[in-house]
Chains A and B, each alone.
Chain A
Amino acid sequence: MFIASAAPESPPAAAETWRINSPENLASDTEVEPTAFSKFVINRNYLALEGGRLLLKLHKRPVLEVNPLTLECEVMGWGIKLSYVQAGEVDRVMARRFSLLFSKSDADELTAEDKKLWLSILDQVDFTSFCINRAAPHYVEGQLRRLRPDCYVDWSDGRSEKIAPHVATAFSELEVGDSFGAHIKLGHDSKALSVERVTMLTSA
């Protein structure tokens, strides 16, 4: 059941008929804690939500604790228990747990137990980025001050902003001086992360 290997998966290991023989005897140069073989880090830094349209960044990779007697696995700090057989689907189960608690929190329906768990999960994920990425774009108006080589926009609230090149492609049909309306998503520092549904308010 357990595979022991000192190196990352080498190409031949991709064969279904490939065998890795576990060593029969092992030595340790340090004292081995009783839990040394029961906690496994899962190779995930993100959880995919909404079919991957939304990613939840994890501050650190989650840890799965395996009960050696029952082979039951628990995702530490997530309140998730699943059988060894289901461990391959752990990311989907974690995404579902997050979505469920987020929805309850949004509707103010968390129980006392839910709240405790939700706080534990929030400690482990980048919730601010999640909220920003999840937020619906909102309508703003502005004027294109310069398009190339760097794009600058004067927003109707008086702010000026240098727009990142990959975001600025949404303005490719505009000319300098054009006023426009658009739906934008803002990032941490109130800078535009994406621009869509651009409407020209005046034509040059």
Chain B
Amino acid sequence: MDGNIEYGKPPVVERVASLYADIPEELFEGRFEDWRNLVAQHFPVYEPLKQWKLGFQNKGDPKEPIPILISSQPELIITPRFSRRLSREGFDWSIRCPRGQFTMNMHPDPSDGSARRYAQLRYEFISWAERWMEHFEVRTIKLLTLHYVNALNMGTVPSFFSKDGLSLALPDIINVFMNVARPGEIIVPPFVCHANIQFPDKENASFSLQVQDSSSSPQAVGVNVNFIVTVQPVPEESSIQKITELLDWAHYRILERFEYVFSERAKQSFEPVKK
């Protein structure tokens, strides 16, 4: 995935592109129903997300913080979400659009589970982002993010699992946990890592690597490797053409890191194809 290499079976299970902007609440609420009608023609399933939020603060020793409940009232955050399929049937494409945010989530093709390509996300995202900006009178973009989720599980990296399927040779897949365990030792869950990188030649952008344990049970071991590029566009970069360029830039930064983070052996298992 360095631009010259494509993979036949990359472990990418989700690609998410988002734009963030300031939209006055009155304007958003006044125009949301029209937006909903427009989006629903292409994303007919409306399943708003509900987040029941409690506030916590870490207090005490920074090395061993204690999460303290903040006394302010808990919140219910409702996020409008439109999809092409019901969530219980597995996601296909989806759009999230709470006030000030436009997000498009692209999943593998539900018909055969094959991975979709960036070009598909790029086309759909830019097309809908342009409509979103026009509909809600967005002139300035505050933030652009591109996020790829790589799922390491029995389905995507079977050759790195033990025969009983209960342990995953994670240090052989990603270079993050290399040289932690000695030969004969095994790394046990949770597999967690979070590192951010600042780009010296683009100070308004950053890359984040987040490794999350996604095991649903001891019998279903899994790890998600998240690549997230965040860009804070300068005001002149808020045109749809500039946003497209920034999105491409973010995509290529992720391709670079994909090559760094995944081991050669893992990349071979993803079936590389020279372009």
Q: Does B234 contact A (CB under 8 A)?
A: no
Given A37-B74, A91-B78, A16-B226 contact (CB < 8 Å): no
Given A4-B56, A28-B68, A37-B54, A51-B34 contact (CB < 8 Å): yes
Residues of A within 8 A of B55 (CB): 6
CB distance from B249 to the nearest CB of A (A): 16
**B91 and A41 contact, CB distance less than 8 A:** no
**B78 and A48 contact, CB distance less than 8 A:** no
CB distance from B89 to the nearest CB of A (A): 13
**B71 and A27 contact, CB distance less than 8 A:** no
**A12 and B57 contact, CB distance less than 8 A:** no
Residues of B within 8 A of A27 (CB): 66-69
Residues of B within 8 A of A1 (CB): 52
**B69 and A52 contact, CB distance less than 8 A:** no
Residues of B within 8 A of A4 (CB): 53-54, 56
Residue among A17, A29, A39, A88 with max Cβ neighbours from chain B (10 Å): A17
Q: Does A15 contact B (CB under 8 A)?
A: yes
Q: Does B151 contact A (CB under 8 A)?
A: yes
**A14 and B147 contact, CB distance less than 8 A:** yes
**A19 and B224 contact, CB distance less than 8 A:** yes
| Contact pattern, A 20-61, Cβ under 8 Å of B = 1, otherwise 0 | 000101111110100011011111111110011101000000
| Contact pattern, B 138-178, Cβ under 8 Å of A = 1, otherwise 0 | 00000101010101000000000000000000000000000
A-B contact pairs, 28 of them (CB 8 A): A3-B51, A6-B55, A9-B77, A11-B147, A11-B230, A12-B226, A14-B18, A14-B101, A14-B103, A14-B105, A16-B14, A17-B13, A17-B214, A17-B224, A18-B212, A19-B212, A23-B56, A26-B68, A27-B66, A28-B68, A28-B69, A29-B69, A41-B75, A42-B76, A53-B30, A63-B73, A87-B78, A89-B48
Interface residues of A (CB under 8 A from B): 1-6, 9, 11-12, 14-19, 23, 25-30, 32, 36-37, 39-48, 51-53, 55, 63-64, 66, 87-91
